[in-house]
Amino acid sequence: MPAESSHSGTRVFVYAYVSVLSVAAFLLYGPTLIAKNGAEKVGNKALGSSADIPRLDDAPLLFSEYSEGLWEGFDGSPEKLECSDIHMAANLELIGGGWTKAVYRAKIYGREVAIKTVHLNGRDVNECRRAGESPAVCYSRAAEKILKELVLLTRIGHENVLQVFGACFNEAMIPVAVVTELGEPLDTLKILQLPWEDRLRMALGVARILHHLAHSPIGSLAMNDFRRQQFVLVNGTTLKLSDVDDLGLREPVCNTNKDCSLHLPSEMVNDSASVNPAMCIAGNCIGHNERLNVWHAGRHFVQHLLPANAPPSLKPHIQQLLNGYQSTTWNSEQILKMTESLVANFVSGEYRKKGTEVKKGLSYTFYEPLNKSKRMIENLGFELIKDSDLPGIFDYRCDDSSSAAGCIISVFNEVEAAEICSRDSKCKAVVIGQQHTWTGRTVAIFKNGHCTPTVKTGYSLLLKK
């Protein structure tokens, strides 16, 4: 990149930091958070300005620890929202706070968003103050991480990385703030309660994130602090990487290949049958970040997502994938291909061709051609009635349902719906609708009773005899 472009990018961030320093004292001693009904909330003054800001001319600029290459090509104008828009945010509510950032739920022009700004009571600011640093220095150190995260989210944009809607860092007397999509924090218990198909989608999201981090526009990136708190679910379904301020931008340094294995966690070395360290090329452990991310992802996520309630015939495929995650020889490309193969197997119905299952006295083949489906449905003890529905009645709760209000499960076809109902003593009927999941599978509503059905074109009703 030409030197002029590089210097331009640096000037943008110098200006940003000067602006940040000018509001530090106001934010540190400004409006306090108000607890209301057990939830901490904050008014718009938290994103406002003050005429009584003291001079902070002696505060240093603190961006030297990061490579200038990170800022190159960043024009300081992510997406569309600007300071004036963010200042108009309504209904601010504190929904999370970490060492560095406070995250607010808010509405801007009627749209729900997340606003990230400096956590004034966070560990970073408090430890800095206890060390005797000025409010300006402490704020700027925390703000620097948020600015780094802004650039990273913008530069590594991906469908499984949180989208940035705008930011404010270049006007005096308004705090540094980044506006993104609003996501739901990951809760382990809630994840385990999701239908297997939804957890499969999350596993695919993990694989895509790993591959993108290994081949990002700014090089192979390392998730140095790999925790579920760094991810959110957007719209309740899509897994997205949300916290990137601790991403490592470089591979570890080395002199020999053996040096690279020294950077691996001891647990990783102990869990792997054969450690294949990264190659030391030009003084860096090439491939280290990628392998470490894969290992952490398997340990923290995928082993909890896929095994529970998976279709029996897919379990060998799943185990092979889990073994790949724990191996130091698999890279993100192999992980992604294996995960996509698992999804394709599930979507196509191939998993139903493998053998038979015997459960509760029933023995049946997992899959048969569609022209035999009517006979199979009858053999399972069901009557098929076309263009029929049982709307709003005989609903009940069941395991693996995608809804708490009823028993709603996706199925490959009507035969699979009949099979599932056969294994459930509460189930007496199934409504096959015209809604489909992200994989294209059909949504089926299981009922614990039946009566004279309502006519509904395109729907099918299975009645247990």
Full set of structural domains in the chain with CATH: 3-182 (3.30.200.20), 185-352 (1.10.510.10), 366-464 (3.50.4.10)
| Residue with the larger pLDDT of the pair 378 and 202 | 202
- Model confidence band, residue 193 (pLDDT cutoffs 50, 70, 90): confident
Residue 282 CB-density burial (10 A; 0-12 exposed, 13-18 middle, 19+ buried)? exposed
State the Cα–Cα distance between residues 45 and 43, nearest whole angstrom.
Answer: 5
Closest-CA residue to 338 (of 320, 358, 311, 351)? 320
pLDDT (0 to 100) of residue 312:
86
Percent of the chain with pLDDT strictly greater than 90: 35
| pTM of the predicted protein model | 0.76
**Active site includes 225?**
yes
DSSP count for the chain of H helices, then E strands? 14, 21
Residue 443 has pLDDT above 90, yes or no: yes
The tokens describing 187, both together, are: 């809760």
- Model confidence band, residue 27 (pLDDT cutoffs 50, 70, 90): very low
pLDDT (0 to 100) of residue 363:
38
3-state secondary structure string, 433-459? EEEECCCCCEEEEEECCCCCCEEEEEE
Q: What is the pLDDT of residues 145-185, one digit of tens each?
A: 888 888 889 888 899 999 988 888 754 445 788 899 999 98
- Signed CA dihedral, 174, 176, 182, 184: sign only: negative
* Helix 315-326 vs helix 332-348: crossing angle, to nearest 10: 170
pLDDT (0 to 100) of residue 240:
94
Residue 201 has pLDDT above 90, yes or no: yes
Out of 3-17, 117-131, 234-248, 396-410, least confident range: 3-17
- Model confidence band, residue 372 (pLDDT cutoffs 50, 70, 90): low
The answer to whether the CB of 397 falls within 8 A of the CB of 404 is yes
Residue 63 has pLDDT above 80, yes or no: no
Highest mean pLDDT, choosing among 133-137, 268-272, 304-308: 304-308
* CA-to-CA separations, 241 to 74, 105, 128, 146, 456, in angstroms, rounded: 20, 17, 28, 15, 42
State the Cα–Cα distance between residues 149 and 162, nearest whole angstrom.
Answer: 11
Average pLDDT of the segment spanning 426-451? 93
- Model confidence band, residue 379 (pLDDT cutoffs 50, 70, 90): confident
Q: What single DSSP character describes residue 68?
A: G
- Model confidence band, residue 277 (pLDDT cutoffs 50, 70, 90): low
The answer to whether the CB of 223 falls within 8 A of the CB of 293 is yes
State the Cα–Cα distance between residues 304 and 298, nearest whole angstrom.
Answer: 9
Average pLDDT of the segment spanning 373-390? 88
Residue 6 has pLDDT above 90, yes or no: no
The answer to whether the CB of 115 falls within 8 A of the CB of 100 is no
Residue 137 CB-density burial (10 A; 0-12 exposed, 13-18 middle, 19+ buried)? buried
Average pLDDT of the segment spanning 78-105? 82
| Residue with the larger pLDDT of the pair 147 and 6 | 147
3-state secondary structure string, 349-376? CHHHHCCEEEECCEEEECCCCHHHHHHH
Which amino acid is present at 39?
Answer: A
Residue 338 has pLDDT above 70, yes or no: yes
pLDDT (0 to 100) of residue 354:
47
Highest mean pLDDT, choosing among 199-208, 218-227, 323-332, 401-410: 199-208
State the Cα–Cα distance between residues 213 and 226, nearest whole angstrom.
Answer: 13
State the Cα–Cα distance between residues 154 and 91, nearest whole angstrom.
Answer: 26
In 154-217, which ranges are E strands? 164-168, 177-180, 184-185
pLDDT (0 to 100) of residue 39:
32
Residue 452 has pLDDT above 60, yes or no: yes
Average pLDDT of the segment spanning 355-370? 41
Q: What is the pLDDT of residues 30-49, one digit of tens each?
A: 332 222 222 333 334 444 33
Catalytic residue among 57, 58, 225, 395: 225
pLDDT (0 to 100) of residue 429:
95
Mean pLDDT across the chain: 77
- Model confidence band, residue 411 (pLDDT cutoffs 50, 70, 90): very high
pLDDT (0 to 100) of residue 275:
57
Which residues, other chains included, contact 411 with Cβ-Cβ below 8 Å and sequence gap of 6+? 417, 420, 432, 441, 442, 444
CA atoms lying within 13 Å on the CB side of residue 255: 0
Residue 273 has pLDDT above 70, yes or no: no
Average pLDDT of the segment spanning 300-313? 88
The answer to whether the CB of 351 falls within 8 A of the CB of 314 is yes
pLDDT (0 to 100) of residue 272:
52
98: left (phi over 0), alpha (psi -120 to 50) or beta: beta
Q: What single DSSP character describes residue 76?
A: S
The tokens describing 406, both together, are: 């009823």
